[in-house]
Chains A and B, each alone.
Chain A
Amino acid sequence: MHSFTTLPAAPGVGYKPQHYAEILAGAGPVGWLEIHAENYMGDGGRPLAQLRALAERFPISVHGVGLSIGGEGRLDAEHLARLKHLVGWLNPASFSEHLAWSTHDSAFLNDLLPLPYTNATLDRVVAHVDEVQDTLGRQMLLENPSSYLAFSESTWDEPDFLREIARRTGCGLLLDVNNVFVSATNLGFTPQAYIEGFALDQVGEIHLGGHDEDEDDHGAPLLIDSHGREVADPVWALLSHTLVRSGPKPLLIEWDTDVPAWPVLAEEARRAEEALARLAVAA
């Protein structure tokens, strides 16, 4: 199988099977695709056949949602083995996972749950990232979460916590600027300051997605990371703020619920392409 070794500094989209024919007929500005690892862990059938065909044409980013890297328990050895198998035969351009947990007492909760940022959780996440990278035999990227609450026991801020994980494990980082905007709104910090504190030289990929608006008990805005609509304007602005400091990066549009027709998704990718083009002009 043909292998693309890196993600290009171009727009990519989260792959949805309903877009298969249109992507193969001409993906427009889309230069690479991201898949959720767990959807391609069946034994065969259409999902794997489509993935093989797409991987001939596009660099693929494998994005895991089930490793529970922030979990208190040991990593699920069976799941790690499944991941090793997928990454082994596909040889994707990138593998990434989340700074979050999703499994406890062997129950998988299908959501990315938050952890406090302390020296103890830092040691645990570092050990888990080491184990993943040793098992897969490659560098992984770790993504910043979207947060709806904070832990009073936290002693690290998030950019420093991620920078320290990258320093100790050699992993790269996946910067989700929508998550930054959502967390900043929800927890009352300045998103630009977060970006300025982030280890941008470690960033291998940037995520963009849509969020919903709600309120907390006190009427304060509470943004929900829904991946169900267009990227919001302030998030595009935050992307530009980021790109000026980071230089061009692979930019992913995530749209996972109420998935739109292909032209709508391709238009979001075109906006990402414009953001990269403006950067080139400015340089």
Chain B
Amino acid sequence: MSQQAFHHALLDPARPVPDGLTDGAGHPAGRRYAVYRNNVAVSLTEALITGFPACAALLGADNMSRIAGRFLRQHPPASPLMIHWGAAFPAFLDGLDGLGRLPFLSDVARLELALRRAYHAADATPVAPDALLSIPEDRLGLARLRLAPSIQIVKSRWPVAEIRAYALGLGPAPTSGAQEIAVLRPDYDPEPHVLPPQGHAFLAALQANMPLAAAVTQCGPGFDPAPCLALLLGHGAITEILT
């Protein structure tokens, strides 16, 4: 029998057990084939719960299993690197009906994905926390800041950092509104940090290698980059200053 036949019936319980499989004594394999069906579904569902623990907590075990079952059939892993599986999960959640009570769920998934990417990102040596002070003022505006590979930025009209913390039992019930977030990883533990308004646009501009003054300008009049820069420098998130 072909692996094609074995594979198709694994992910589609409505298909019959493929022919040519036995129990060792010549009887049809029957339920023995279901062990493989179950192993595939359970292991991928568990991988999704591990990768998106706050989403799983918000949905509850039964809903998460049902949603995972649909996701793993539509978006099975495309590589053996399970540490990266689930990039399509936020958009998949956006397309689901019946999540009206959890309109923020896909953004929580985006934040969890950002935390996981930060966790596995390359290491980098940061500049000293006072490194910007040594740049002459007339050259500061043209300086380009290289950010750590672990930096991730997320923007949501919901307070997703608070929702995630609450779902995981790490913080109080959410009270604020829209949030712009930077995930920073000073050593090995990524943490979400809430940015001031336009902070997301500012960091995105720096990530795109825009000079400092231009990055500030495109954030609109009155944008003060100082709190964002202090946050980045304080968490080892700037690795090079190119003047």
Whole-angstrom distance between the alpha carbons of A20 and B31 in the complex? 39
Whole-angstrom distance between the alpha carbons of A187 and B23 in the complex? 6
A45 and B22 in contact, given A79-B79, A101-B3, A222-B35 (Cβ under 8 angstroms): no
Does B194 reach chain A (CB closer than 8 Å)?
A: no
Contacts of A187 in B (CB 8 A): 23-24
Smallest beta-carbon distance A146→chain B, Å: 10
Does B82 reach chain A (CB closer than 8 Å)?
A: yes
Interface residues on B, range: 35 or more
Contacts of B188 in A (CB 8 A): 45-46, 49
Does B169 reach chain A (CB closer than 8 Å)?
A: no
The answer to whether B20 and A153 have CB atoms under 8 Å apart is yes
The answer to whether A186 and B24 have CB atoms under 8 Å apart is yes
Smallest beta-carbon distance B187→chain A, Å: 8
Cross-interface CB contact of B150 among A45, A82, A149, A216, cutoff 8 Å? A45
0/1 interface trace, chain A 30-55, chain B, CB 8 Å (1 if under): 00000000110111111111000000
| Closest partner residue, chain B, to A224 (CB atom) | B35
Does A234 reach chain B (CB closer than 8 Å)?
A: no
Does B96 reach chain A (CB closer than 8 Å)?
A: no
| Closest partner residue, chain A, to B38 (CB atom) | A224
| Closest partner residue, chain A, to B190 (CB atom) | A45
Contacts of B121 in A (CB 8 A): 42-45
The answer to whether A39 and B83 have CB atoms under 8 Å apart is yes
Q: How many interface residues does A have (CB within 8 Å)? A: 53
The answer to whether B40 and A110 have CB atoms under 8 Å apart is yes
A149 and B83 in contact, given A46-B119, A109-B76 (Cβ under 8 angstroms): no
0/1 interface trace, chain B 80-111, chain A, CB 8 Å (1 if under): 11110000000000000000000000000000
0/1 interface trace, chain A 46-90, chain B, CB 8 Å (1 if under): 111100000000000000011110011000101100100000000
The answer to whether B32 and A186 have CB atoms under 8 Å apart is yes
Does B71 reach chain A (CB closer than 8 Å)?
A: no
| Closest partner residue, chain A, to B77 (CB atom) | A108
B-contacting residues, A4-32, CB 8 Å: none
0/1 interface trace, chain B 28-61, chain A, CB 8 Å (1 if under): 0111110110011001100100000000000000
The answer to whether A108 and B78 have CB atoms under 8 Å apart is yes
Counting chain A CB atoms within 10 Å of each CB, the highest count among B4, B79, B82 belongs to B79
Does B120 reach chain A (CB closer than 8 Å)?
A: yes
Does B21 reach chain A (CB closer than 8 Å)?
A: yes
Contacts of A115 in B (CB 8 A): 3
A222 and B32 in contact, given A101-B3, A116-B1 (Cβ under 8 angstroms): yes
Cross-interface CB contact of B30 among A42, A79, A151, A216, cutoff 8 Å? A216
| Closest partner residue, chain B, to A184 (CB atom) | B24
A149 and B33 in contact, given A38-B83, A44-B123 (Cβ under 8 angstroms): yes
The answer to whether B25 and A65 have CB atoms under 8 Å apart is no
Contacts of B32 in A (CB 8 A): 148-149, 186, 216, 222
Whole-angstrom distance between the alpha carbons of A45 and B116 in the complex? 11
Does A138 reach chain B (CB closer than 8 Å)?
A: no
The answer to whether A110 and B29 have CB atoms under 8 Å apart is no
Known: A42-B120, A216-B31. 11 other contacts (CB 8 A): A45-B121, A45-B123, A108-B78, A111-B39, A150-B24, A151-B21, A188-B25, A216-B30, A217-B31, A220-B23, A222-B32
